[in-house]
Amino acid sequence: MESGTAAPGRASIPARTLRTDNWRKAPIVTFTLLSIWVLYALVRTVSQRNYFVEQYHYLSPFSSPCVSASCPSGARDFGTWFGHFPPFVPLALLVLPFLLGFRLTCYYYRRAYYRSFWQSPPACAVAEPHQRYSGETKFPLIFQNLQRYFFGAAVLISLINSYDAIRAFQGKDGGLGIGLGTLIMVVNVVLLWAYTVSCHSCRHIIGGRVRSFSRYPMRYKAWTFVSRLNAKHMQLAWTTLLTLMITDAYIGLVASGAISDPRFYN
Ligand code: FES
């Protein structure tokens, strides 16, 4: 089926758009920021370097869970599932496909990358350059329907991130300790939970198909809470990209010896 202004039933307007505002700005900014993030994550995950601070048990979320023989023994709290990974293979290979699946199929990110990378469409009321449109009912976009299953995986991964944040309360002598890295990891994991829980699939799991909320007061409370977070899903999507980057970069700087971790306690 033809799409855009050439689609049947659409008003025949020769101009691509009648918008006069700067509608190109949003997709360009999104394209630039997402590209920078993907490039950073790619370099960090394949480098296999400076992702763990043994003394304070700071483990980068980009390399967690670390379950290969390539990881230092102190980082292998979940055991050794694999032998040595060859160079350039991400240490978090076990969860990476699910994390990527969760973000790529996210309703907000779809909007972001459809507009900025595929220009489908680049903005509201702007015709897309593609001549055909099959929606999300055919390969490969039919896989977008896996979002609800990736949500389940994301909950498990958030639990692992929470465990890492708790482990980061490790002091110099192995007892309790708090440093700037601990706080950064805690803030990151709280926001990761907020992003995960604000997912549209989560909202549907909690409140979907309920005919009468008055019969399920607890579900109604949970649904109201999730709905409030859901309204901030876009902001949480961007904030968590930033906190993931900051957490990983901070751990990288401490692990490499470029900076030392300011300690508030032990
Ligand atoms: S993670 Fe964005 S909609 Fe589910």
| Whether the predicted pLDDT of 213 surpasses 80 | yes
> What pLDDT, in 10s, does the model give residues 128-152?
888 777 788 888 899 999 999 999 9
**Cβ 147 under 6 angstroms from ligand 1:** yes
**Cβ 154 under 6 angstroms from ligand 1:** no
Rounded to 5 degrees, φ, ψ at 233 are -60, -40
Burial code (b: 16+ CB inside 10 Å, e: under 16) for 196-209 equals bbbbbbbbebbbee
In this prediction, residues 194-198 reach a mean pLDDT of 98
What integer best gives the mean pLDDT of the chain? 94
Output the pLDDT for position 132.
78
Output the pLDDT for position 260.
98
Burial label for 183, CB within 10 Å (0-12, 13-18, 19+), is middle
Output the pLDDT for position 258.
98
Query: Residue 106: which of 63, 73, 138, 146 has the closest Cα?
Result: 146
Output the pLDDT for position 15.
87
Burial code (b: 16+ CB inside 10 Å, e: under 16) for 139-150 equals eeeeebeebeeb
Highest mean pLDDT among 2-6, 126-130, 226-230: 226-230
Q: What percent of the chain has pLDDT over 70?
A: 98
| Whether the predicted pLDDT of 247 surpasses 60 | yes
pLDDT range class, residue 7, cuts 50, 70, 90: confident
Output the pLDDT for position 1.
52
Say how far apart CA 69 and CA 88 lie, in whole Å: 15
Q: Which atom of ligand 1 is nearest to the CA of 151?
A: 4
Q: 235 CA to middle of ligand 1, Å?
A: 12
**Cβ 107 under 6 angstroms from ligand 1:** yes
Which of 98, 100, 104, 105 is the pocket-test mutation for ligand 1 (most atoms within 8 Å of CB)? 105
